Amino acid sequence: MSLEKITDPRNMKHWLGHMETDYRYTLGIAGERFLNEIKENARIMGSKCKKCGVIYVPPRMYCEECFEKLEEWVDLGINGEVYTYTVAYLDREGKRLAEPVIYALITFGDAFGGLVHKLGEVKPEEVWIGMPVEAVFKPPYERKGSITDIKYFKPIQ
Amino acid sequence: MSEVAIVGVGCVGFKSIMPELSYKELMFEAAVKAYEDAGGINPRKDVDAFVTCAEDYWEGFSIFDEFVPDQLGAVLRHLFTVSGDGLLGLANAYMLIKTGHFDIVVLEAHSKASDILTFYDIVAFAMDPVMVRPLGGNPYYIAGMEMNRYLCETGTTIEQCAQVVVKNKRNALANPYAAYGANITLDQVLWSEPCFYPLKKLEISPLSDGCVVMVLASEKVAKKLTDTPIWVEGVGWATETPNLETRDWGRAVYTELAAEMAYKTAGITCPSREIDFVELSDLFAYKELQHLEALKLCKYGEAGMLLEDGIITKDGDLPVNVSGGCLGMGYALEASGMQRLLEVVLQLRGKAEGRQIPDAEVGLAHTWRGIPTATGAVAILSNIKE
């Protein structure tokens, strides 16, 4: 505690720091195949457990229920459904966005899981839980094996 | 096995900013109060082990564990840090005493959130780097998505969620440790800025600074240190899954599992009858209702009606967040659970002053580690020894 009365908090002694870290996140076998399929073939794949039949999306190498290794792949197509969504009005710094962004969890039939992604070509007030949507991919030459190779999901007309 | 009691508490804060103190000084001041409260113990010789709770990125350190001993009187003594909320630290402290090898254990958690200049960046670093992070944006969108699904599944209304804010901020007015007490109306909450539809600005707990230190003791030592030991009857914790894609977006499964574990240890079979009051995580207004259901204090989807019927207000049958919760005290990062625990201890001691719940005997403290986690912890406390 200071003995003197503090009248201006800007005079508080502090030190500004910056934590700089860079990483290389290994995709692994399942992640690499999943993102490569999006890049090369514009399709969304899941991995299936032979024992319990559950299909994981995003795909994994192992079943969290059976603890089995997963080696079977399933093409889930590009159509899904909005499981839940939100309209984000704030950016990373907490400032108002000029245009709100719609985020959603998209599920694919009976597959376990889904993809968190953005919605496009739709107004916030037109979105509903359960709405059928399809993936819109970037053109092949712009894809680089990232989840953002999918531009967004849009309503199926 | 020995019973475990909380015999001393010390709190500094909570305030929106405490620029005059460093995190070490915050911890020191709370520790001095706690040791005094525990019959004047000397940390340099009386304490068998120290448990602190901190997450490196909140602190701006790598391996923050190394930076905690001196301000607690724990230099060259036995200390470890839990990378989690204070209630997870409580579980560790509880287990240490249960081994029979430790008689006095000190527990600490703090928040110096005002030192974090890019809070949402740190939250974003908690998301999957390959599948989610590249989408960018403010990571609190996860809360908007969860609230939307919760409302859809349960039929809970936006008015009921907003009413939680009115209640908790009003409760906080009677709590000297609360940073954000206010007398506001339902309309003010409903018309506050939309942030992550359907979540509004006033439904999001603002960050706060503060620190809570507690002293725990075995049964034989507890009675020497205090006349009012508060007994830890049970603890529980659980993590559902880190995967946003496969988690349950309606139910707080992590809280259901943590509560089951705590109830089992405490021998509680009918929570709504056996528990007198609850302090739980209301980091976002809807979370109070969702967590109340997950704690099995009512059926899934019925918490909103409990609120409307006045059951969870200060004077109701099951008061919830009389302290003001996170909405009233401020979101104190890993100290959030300690805020809840502190209120339970004060109530059970009969020292909650203007907000005292009459005849409180059994209280529940609950916490959630916030976006994007699915981790929660529960503790059951009582002022009566079975």
In a domain, A137, yes or no: yes
Domain count, chain B: 1
- Whether residue A101 lies inside any domain: the answer is yes
Is residue B143 one of the residues assigned to a domain?
Answer: no
Q: A105 CB near a chain B CB, below 8 Å?
A: yes
Per the DSSP assignment, residues forming a β-bridge with B381 are B232, B363
Any domain includes B352: no
* Residue A13 pLDDT: 76
3-state secondary structure at position B238: strand
Q: What is the pLDDT at residue A4?
A: 67
Mean pLDDT over A120-143 rounds to 97
What pLDDT score does A2 carry?
53
* Predicted local distance difference test score (pLDDT) of residue A21: 87
pLDDT for B176 equals 97
Q: Quote the domain boundaries for residue B112.
A: 4-117+207-225
Question: What's the pLDDT at A6?
Answer: 65
Residue B24's CATH number: 3.40.47.10
In the prediction, which pLDDT does A1 show? 45
Q: List the beta strands (DSSP E) in B113-229.
A: 194-196, 199-200, 209-218
Q: Is B213 within the bounds of a domain?
A: yes
B319 within some domain: no
pLDDT at B386: 66
In a domain, A125, yes or no: yes
Please enumerate residues of B whose Cβ is less than 8 A from a Cβ of A.
Answer: 17, 19-21, 60, 115, 117-118, 120-121, 124, 129-132, 134-138, 140-141, 143-149, 152, 193-199, 241, 243-246, 249
* HEC profile of chain A: CCCCCCCCHHHCCCCCCCCCCCCCCCCHHHHHHHHHHHHHHCCCEEEECCCCCCEEECCCCECCCCCCECCEEEECCCEEEEEEEEEEEECCCCCEEEEEEEEEEEECCCCEECEEEEECCCCHHHCCCCCEEEEEECCHHHCCCCHHHEEEEEECC
Q: Lowest mean pLDDT: which of A7-21, A76-90, B147-161?
A: A7-21
Mean of pLDDT values over A85-99: 97
Query: Is residue A6 in some structural domain?
Result: no
Distance CA B49, CA B30 (A): 17
Q: Residue A90 is part of which domain span?
A: 24-155
Cβ–Cβ gap A23/B129 under 8 Å: yes
* CATH number, position A128: 2.40.50.140
pLDDT digits (tens, 9 = 90+) for A31-69: 999 999 999 999 999 999 999 999 999 999 999 889 999
Among chain A residues, the shortest Cα distance to B194 is held by A89
Q: What residues in A contact B151, CB-CB < 8 Å?
A: none
A147 within domain boundaries: yes
Token couple for B208:
């706060």
Nearest to B32 by CA among B48, B44, B20: B44
CB contact under 8 A, B199 and A86: yes
Q: What is the total count of domains within chain A?
A: 1
Residue B81 lies in a domain: yes
pLDDT along chain B (386 residues), means of 10: 93 93 96 97 97 96 93 96 97 97 98 95 95 97 98 98 98 97 97 97 97 97 96 97 95 98 97 97 98 98 97 97 98 98 98 95 98 97 88
Does B218 map to a domain?
yes
| Residue A114 domain flag | yes
The answer as to whether B372 is a domain residue is no
Cβ atoms of residues B88 and B82 within 8 Å:
yes
Tell me what ipTM this predicted complex has: 0.94
Residue A3 lies in a domain: no
**Residue B119 is which amino acid?**
F
**What are the backbone angles phi and psi of residue A28, rounded to the nearest 5°?**
80, 175
Residue B64 falls inside a structural domain: yes
| List of residues 6+ apart from B8 with CB closer than 8 A | B34, B35, B36, B37, B38, B39, B41, B214, B215, B225, B226
In a domain, A1, yes or no: no
What pLDDT is attached to residue B2?
A: 78
β partners of residue A119 = A102, A153
Q: Which residues of B touch A101 (CB under 8 A)?
A: 137, 141
